[in-house]
Structure formats: structure tokens, C-alpha cells
Amino acid sequence: MEIDRAEIGTGFITEVDRYLYNNGRHYEIYEKLGAHPEKYEGNDGMYFAVWAPHGSQVSVVGDFNGWDPEANLMSSLSDSGIWETFVPGLGIGELYKYAITTRSGKILFKSDPYAFQAEYRPQTASVTADLSVFQWKDRSWMEKRMTKDPLHEPLSIYEVHLGSWRKKNRAEKDGFYTYTEAAHELADYILEMGYTHVELMGIAEHPYDGSWGYQVTGYFAPTSRYGTPEEFMYFVDYLHRKGIGVILDWVPAHFPKDAHGLADFDGEPCYEYGDPRKGEHPDWGTKVFDYSKYEVDNFLIANALYWVDKFHVDGLRVDAVASMLYLDYGRNNGEWVPNQYGGNENLEAIEFFKHLNSVIKNRGNGAMVIAEESTAWPRVTGNQEQAGLGFTFKWNMGWMHDFLEYMKLDPYFRKYNHHKMTFGLSYFTSENYILVLSHDEVVHLKCSMIHKMPGLLEDKFSNLKLGYTFMLGHPGKKLLFMGQDFGQFHEWDEKSALDWYLSEEPLGKDLKDYVRDLLHLYKKYPALYEKDFDWEGFSWVNANDKERSIFSFIRYSKDHKRSLLFVLNFTPVERPDYRVGVPKRGAYTLVLDEKHGLYKRGEKAPSFRSVKTEWDGQEHSFSYPLPAYGAAVFRF
């Protein structure tokens, strides 16, 4: 139906909408483009609008018109590249696509880039939906989030792939948990363990399970593998009401070439760069967004805000940031195009990030933006007034690499690699870091976390407990991938559920209980999170005891009350009279060790009184029987 522009309602595309969108500033464009229930000329129906600037004819097709490209033609809105139509009588739950006739006369059937819902894979149609019906009950969480600064709050993230966290014994939908089912069991587990947030891999609609959700075709559609948009809203709402934050992985770096997706959307490069030297990732076989186009930037920024505003998510972890920042990422000489100054920086992507982060920050709702940036790009979390990109946090990939290389070593050789554990403490204030042991470290023949550890099975578990204690004490927020907290044996496989029975085996249960104690200790003591990016929050006691592979350091809170001393022995050699230097005279009470775990209220915790004996450059010291693979945390 051709629309009389003089009679349109507020839900239809206006001249102001077109102006803002074509200039990259329409942050709620998802309320206009896509499919929306509307009333026109007294009829209820569905309003459709799509950006296809190179199309010669566009129509909406579906079961309602027999998928006939001539049945519901769309009208072009001036030179905006936007097409629109109204289909009377059409409701929620209808399958549809756009039939786009290219300038060469070919007809392409494309899913809606702004669709709120998608058909269950391997089918590829979009589904009409209405997001206004869900009743949120997380007001208290959302109000508190606005008042908190995540830099000075505890942040311990449980990274989850919903499709393989747990599975049901049923054939329906491949045994996947629904969003509703997952919300209840996942919340119970997170509360038991003590994580503060869950980070979900691959929630936006994607055609191929093996991409883990990182090759997206439906940026505005929660994947139908686990249910409807309303069910995903319930997931977030339920976790919020249980005091748990929700972070989503988000992929503005690239998209796949599937025929129904964004690639050559209207027969020509539309969302991607036209030059394949800029517009394709040779490593991944995917397309790269064209950040020079206002409409593309608007699509991505509006999408980020959509998840924050419509689904109340607390943060976005931005995937593959380095691939966006560098024009030569994954490319050989001659396969990339320098910028206007001859450099390898993608100036358009840099401006995109600054724009994105400034918009989210200025909303003032406490949402985080986290960069998975694997290089030494400067000031990723720096403010834009100082030429920073403006992210809230950055994954510390350098720390992860050094930590794992050290932990893999036979303890005899650790003394020759002592610097791998101390180097991260030389730069921890340069960015707002999250220490990560993510899914990427337990796939593609990299071994599970437990099998990275040296020695016999019991040694492996002892090493992992010790390593996690070091991670807890090291400045920076924390992230563990699912299964790492109970010693999952096998590498992660998106097709199979975790081996949960291992969490009830003696060694697995002991590790799980210990990680739980670490996480509860983390939330209990502000010294472990208040000054994560400030030298006033950390000091070495002895960083140089490499012959014995022992590390000792102190974490301080803002008021220097209830500070914590860490002493960690990375060899199987017992030190029955290990002396450690301390900054003041008094009692040092053990709050956690590798055998007992966390000392609870009412338990008699061992206490050690310091004496005025200079040690480790400190005026005072005390002796402690440090076991093999010993981990000791004292409060003072």
C-alpha cells in the first residue's frame, strides 16, 4: 500500500527521521526501520521500512502474499535510500523478507536487518514482533546501576555459551534450554558461586552454530535457538531481580556472506566497503562494515543502544576490536589500503568507536562497553579529550598470555620465567583492565584449563587453585569461562554440554568450592576492587623471589582498612618457616588458604603476629608454614 505522507501516524518515517538517519544521528532508528504494528486509514496492520539505496524496486513478501514480489510493493522516500509500505491486517508472528530488485534486474530475498525476531535455523525468514508488551520488574537494579561507577565496584564475570552450558534430554530444538529455563538455573549457579555478572556469547541471530554467534545476520533479533525476544527480556529481568548483571558479546567488526544477510544487501556493497581490500576479512571469509557511511554507523550505534535500552543489558563486550582499528589486520602487503596519511589505522573505525562510546556514556545509565583489543593500541579506555577511544574496560590479553605460559611450565622451570607473572604489574594502570580466561583459551587444541597445568592429576588441580588465587589478587576485574571453575577435562565444544558430573567428583568439587570461596572473598573485601587501576591499591612485598617461585604482595582499599596480604608458592616444595615482610606491626589473620578455602564467620582463623625484624625491605615480618603449592591470604 502506498502511504499518503500527509496522513501518516507517529510511527512512520518522517522527514526528520530521514535527515537524522542519513547523517548518522538517529539513535532510535530501530523504532522506524524494520517491521512495526501500526494503524493507517483506520486499519490495523504492519508498517515496513528498509534502507536499500541501490535497489530499483523493493517489496515485502511472506506467507501472507504467497512470497510474491509484486504483491506488496514499497515506495521510495526521496533520495534517502529508504523504502516503505503498510500491509493492512498483518499481525505478530508473521514470516517475511524483502524482495529487492537490483539495478541489473536480479531479485534478492533478504531478511530484515532491523527485525526483532528471526525464524529458527536453518530457516532464514524474519518474524514480525512487538517488544512493547513485556512488563519489566527490575527497576531497583536499573536505578542502582545509574549511581555506581563500575571501575570501583566488584566485577567477576561468568562467560557462558547458552547452547552448551547445559542441555535437555530432548530432541526439540536440539536440546537447548530456553531463555526462561536458563535464567532460573543459571541465576542459582551464579549466586552460589559468587559471580557478579554473566557474559553471554552469541545472542544475536546467526545461521551457523559453529560461529558461536560471532557471524551475525540478525543484529536486532535475540537468537530463536532459545526462544522469543520476550523470553530473553525475562532472562535479563530475572537475573537483575536476583542481583546479577548481564553483559552481551557484540560484533560490529564483520558479518557473514550468507545470501539472506547483509552482504551485497541490495545487489551492491551497502553495509560493507566496496573495495575488497577494506571490505573483506581474508582470515574469516566475512564482510567488513563500511564505517565511512553514516547509515552504517547509525545501524551499529542504534543496535548497541537497542540492547541497552530495550533489553536492559548492563554492558557490551565488543568483539575483534583490533580487526577494526588496523587496516592491515590479517592482510599481507598489497592486500590493504593505507589511510589518507599513509598509515595502517582505520580512521573511520576510530571515529566510530569514539562516537559509540560517547553516546552510551552520555546516556548516564551505567552501561559498560568492553573492548576485546589484543594489541598495545594506546588509551583504549582513555577519555576522548586525551585522544582515547572511551571504552569502560579492556580485556587484558597480554596478561592472559603471560599467565598461561607460566602456569603451563613444569615448576622447576618457573624460576627462569618469573617475569611472566610480574610483567603485568608494570602496566596495570595504563588501561582499565579485565583479566580474562575466556572461551578462546580452551578451544582449537589449546587444551582445557585443567590440562594446561603440569604434573599428575592432583598437581594439576593444585596448580589451578594457586593460579586462580594469583588472578584474584592481581589488580583488574575478572572473567572465567564456564567449566573452568570445576576443572572441565575436555576442550569446549559448542555441540556438547559441559561435563557437570565432574563438579561432584572429589577434585572437581574441591576446585569448585575453592573458586566459590575466592569469588565471595573478592566481593567481601573492597581492597580487591576499589583501586584496581591505581598504584595506591597495590604494592609488592617481594617480586624477586624467583629461585623459590614465590610471590608476595598487598592489596589496599581506599581507606587502607582491611588490607590483604597474598603469599603464593608456585612449586611443590614446602617452606615450613617462610618469612614474609610486612608494612606494620600487628596481627595478620589468615582468611583463605589452598586447603581450607575461605574462613567463615565464627571459625577460628590462624593469626600471626609480626615482629620488628626487617625483611623484604619492610620493617616488620612474620613466619608462616607455607605448603607446597601454597596459597595464603591474610587480612590486616
pLDDT reading at 295 higher than 60: yes
Q: Which is nearest to 407 in space by CA: 441, 432, 373? A: 441
pLDDT of 173 reads 76
Half-sphere exposure of 286 (CA within 13 A, CB side): 22
Annotate 400-456 with DSSP letters as a single string: HHHHHHHHHS-GGGGGGGTHHHHGGGGSTTSS-EEEEE-GGGGSTTS--HHHHS-SS
Residue from 290, 372, 517, 594 carrying the catalytic annotation = 372
pLDDT reading at 8 higher than 80: no
pLDDT of 109 reads 98
In the chain, what percentage of residues exceed pLDDT 90? Answer: 94
pLDDT of 560 reads 86
Confidence category of residue 138, pLDDT binned at 50, 70, 90 = very high
Q: How many other β-carbons are positioned within 10 Å of the β-carbon of residue 590?
A: 17
| CA 548 vs CA 34, 263, 575, 590: distances in Å | 63, 57, 9, 22
State the helix-helix crossing angle for 294-310 and 15-22, rounded to 10 degrees: 110
Instruction: Classify domain 5-127 at the CATH topology level.
Output: Immunoglobulin-like (2.60.40)
pLDDT of 2 reads 66
Cα–Cα dist 204/115, whole Å: 11
pLDDT of 4 reads 64
Asked about 319 being catalytic, the answer comes back as: yes
Determine the longest span between alpha carbons in the chain, in angstroms.
90
CATH of domain 153-372+384-395: 3.20.20.80
Asked about 192 being catalytic, the answer comes back as: no
Confidence category of residue 171, pLDDT binned at 50, 70, 90 = low
Q: What is the arithmetic mean of pLDDT over 418-438? A: 97
Annotate 286-343 with DSSP letters as a single string: EE-B-TTSHHHHHHHHHHHHHHHHHS--SEEEETTHHHHHBTTTT--TTSS---TTS-
| CA 135 vs CA 36, 131, 139: distances in Å | 19, 10, 11
Confidence category of residue 404, pLDDT binned at 50, 70, 90 = very high
Phi first, then psi: what are they for 17, rounded to 5°?
Answer: -55, -45
What residue segments make up the domains of the chain, in order of their start? 5-127, 153-372+384-395, 535-635
Q: What is the arithmetic mean of pLDDT over 410-418? A: 97
Cα–Cα dist 175/213, whole Å: 18
**Angle of CA points 101, 104, 109, to nearest 5°:** 30
- Give the distance, in angstroms, between the CA of residue 17 and the centroid of all CA atoms in the same chain: 31
pLDDT reading at 158 higher than 80: yes
pLDDT of 384 reads 86
pLDDT reading at 32 higher than 90: yes
Confidence category of residue 601, pLDDT binned at 50, 70, 90 = confident
Phi first, then psi: what are they for 279, rounded to 5°?
Answer: -95, 0
Mean pLDDT lowest among 5-19, 404-418, 548-562 = 5-19
pLDDT reading at 6 higher than 60: no
Residue from 230, 249, 266, 319 carrying the catalytic annotation = 319
Same fold, 5-127 and 153-372+384-395: no
| CA 249 vs CA 156, 230, 319, 335: distances in Å | 16, 19, 7, 29
pLDDT in tens, 85-101: 999 999 999 999 999 99
pLDDT reading at 303 higher than 80: yes
- Give the homologous superfamily in CATH for domain 535-635: Golgi alpha-mannosidase II (2.60.40.1180)
Q: What is the arithmetic mean of pLDDT over 241-251? A: 98
pLDDT reading at 59 higher than 90: yes
Q: What is the arithmetic mean of pLDDT over 409-426? A: 97
Cell of 457: 592429576
